[in-house]
């Protein structure tokens, strides 16, 4: 058969597998938004069946032989060749996991998620402990099956950012941490800015409508997506024309919903921008979770916490909440939304202390996966690190180790990508500014096109063609450099806390 014919066969098989995976994803989205409590058990079974089915289709001997034959062909185009190479790499990795193991993991994750939701509602880690322990043991087993060098955690980190290791992450964090702490100490010596205006009683329906309007203004296409409410904000996609985001609303914290919408909106814009002609293939998927997080952090912080964005949108906010913010100046608002203060909740943290939240989770995960910390010890170890890193006392499990959804999903190896994403975001934003010196003037006029166009040209269309490091070098001219984030943060917070 010709290479073109073989490639069409490969594409058909991969898209069939994608159909099954995304059908499972629809059920997962429903599970976290609208599923009635009594449906939990059967939903877990349904998701496990689809997950196992997709895995078995992917690790079939027939697909493996097809990938091997295509990989040996010399007449494929550059993109076709890359798709085949990446699929073969994924195949060989997934082949190490049996269908039975994948089903067991899926069922354990479903039980874990519902236990987490119950434990969080009742503010009691013990409800979550046993299901979480099962997931952790399975993740250890998964790492052993996949294989790794030096550290077991490397096998899991690789799932979220190809080639990312403990050694690489430790080096980045060891460089970043003292600079963050130094800047944080300087800020803490200055008079604190006021952000009490964020803690008034803000009508939940008006917050929802405001969040929807902000999503439209940054470019989210509501004909190719929607927003809903969930316990923990997330983004999920079923193709580039159907991307769902969720938010959560606290009546007494306007910031919770606002920057959750912008953060998830950044993720969603990436998914909506992926090439639809590559559906089901590696080049139709995001580069890595570090790059994905760069998209959410770029919109949330570089844009959404910057003064130009609010020079255009502050009047809109006042319109939604008449009388509540009338006496507030744009300067006071800008300073308040960027208040630096150690706190308990990662998703509500400022740009400096946020990284310390991430480092705490990273240290915890390393120890859990290497086996030097047991799941029963999580609350005590968590509380100790929060006291040590941030100087705050954790009052309960809900505001402590139960605040994040990731472990209930089995997402071990993910957290470091949040900080890496912030570093990439600062570097990308600096590159956009170099290309367009009038960028912030345009944002102040409500024109976000320059950002979105740059991302659509430089980030979105490549899918997984490049690794995170390769993509960064291609679009900025240098490898990942934390200097851009430190320079950005130093300039910003020196001005706010002058």
The three-state secondary structure class of 325 is coil
Q: How many CB atoms lie within 10 A of CB 236?
A: 20
> Residues 6 or more apart from 168 whose CB is under 8 A from it?
none
Residue-wise DSSP of 122-184: HT-THHHHHHHHHHHHHHHHHHHHH--SS-HHHHHHTTTSTT--HHHHHHHHHHHHHHHHHHH
Burial of 415 (0-12, 13-18, 19+ CB in 10 A): buried
Task: Give the tokens for residue 151.
Answer: 């550290």
φ, ψ (nearest 5 deg) of residue 182 = -60, -45
The dihedral region occupied by 328, where left means phi > 0, alpha psi between -120 and 50, and beta the remainder, is: beta
239 forms beta bridges with: 242
Q: How far apart are CA 205 and CA 432, in angstroms?
A: 35
Task: Give the tokens for residue 79.
Answer: 């993109």
Per annotation, catalytic residue among 264, 271, 285, 351: 264
- In the residue annotation, 277 being an active-site residue is answered as no
Buried (b) or exposed (e) across 137-162, using 16+ Cβ within 10 A? ebbbebbeebebeebbbbbbbbbbbb
Instruction: Specify the residue for token string 């690794």.
Output: 467
For the annotated catalytic residues, the residue numbers are 264
């Amino acid at each position: 058969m010709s290479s073109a014919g073989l490639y069409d066969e490969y594409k058909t098989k991969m898209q069939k597998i994608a159909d099954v995976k995304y059908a499972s994803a629809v059920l997962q989205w429903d599970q976290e938004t609208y599923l009635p409590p009594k449906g939990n058990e059967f939903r877990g079974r349904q998701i496990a069946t689809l997950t196992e089915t997709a895995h078995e289709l992917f690790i079939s001997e027939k697909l493996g032989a097809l990938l091997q034959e295509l990989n040996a062909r010399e007449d494929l185009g550059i993109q076709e060749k890359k798709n085949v190479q990446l699929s073969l790499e994924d195949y060989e990795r997934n082949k190490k996991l049996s269908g039975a193991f994948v089903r067991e993991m899926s069922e354990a994750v479903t039980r874990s998620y519902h236990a987490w939701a119950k434990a969080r509602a009742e503010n009691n880690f013990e409800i979550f402990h046993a299901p979480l322990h099962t997931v952790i043991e399975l993740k250890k087993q998964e790492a052993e099956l996949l294989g790794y060098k030096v550290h077991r955690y490397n096998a899991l980190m690789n799932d979220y950012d190809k080639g990312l290791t403990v050694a690489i992450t430790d080096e980045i964090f060891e460089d970043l941490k003292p600079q963050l702490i130094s800047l944080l100490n300087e800020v803490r010596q200055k008079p604190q800015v006021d952000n009490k205006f964020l803690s008034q009683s803000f009508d939940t329906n008006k917050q929802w409508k405001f969040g929807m309007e902000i999503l439209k203004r940054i470019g989210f296409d509501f004909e190719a997506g929607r927003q809903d409410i969930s316990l923990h904000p997330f983004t999920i996609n079923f193709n580039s024309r159907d991307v769902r985001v969720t938010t959560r609303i606290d009546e007494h914290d306007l910031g919770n919903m606002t920057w959750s919408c912008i953060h998830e909106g950044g993720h969603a814009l990436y998914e909506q921008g992926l090439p639809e002609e590559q559906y089901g293939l590696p080049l139709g998927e995001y580069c890595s979770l570090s790059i994905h997080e760069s998209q959410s952090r770029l919109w949330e912080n570089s844009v959404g916490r910057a003064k130009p964005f609010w020079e255009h949108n502050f009047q809109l906010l006042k319109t939604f909440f008449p009388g509540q913010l009338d006496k507030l100046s744009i300067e006071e608002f800008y300073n308040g939304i960027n208040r630096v203060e150690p706190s308990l909740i990662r998703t509500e943290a400022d740009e400096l202390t946020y990284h310390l939240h991430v480092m705490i989770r990273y240290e915890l995960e390393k120890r859990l996966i290497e086996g030097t910390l047991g799941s029963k010890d999580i609350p005590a170890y968590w509380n100790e690190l929060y006291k040590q890193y941030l100087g705050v006392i954790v009052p309960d499990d809900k505001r402590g180790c139960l605040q994040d959804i990731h472990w209930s999903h089995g997402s071990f190896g993910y957290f470091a990508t949040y900080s890496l994403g912030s570093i990439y975001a600062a570097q990308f934003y600096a590159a956009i500014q170099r290309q367009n010196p009038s960028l912030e003037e345009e944002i102040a006029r409500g024109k976000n096109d320059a950002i979105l166009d740059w991302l659509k040209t430089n980030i979105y269309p490549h899918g997984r063609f490049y690794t995170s490091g390769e993509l960064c070098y291609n679009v900025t001219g240098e490898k990942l450099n934390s200097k851009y984030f430190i320079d950005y943060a130093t300039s910003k917070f020196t001005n706010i806390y002058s």
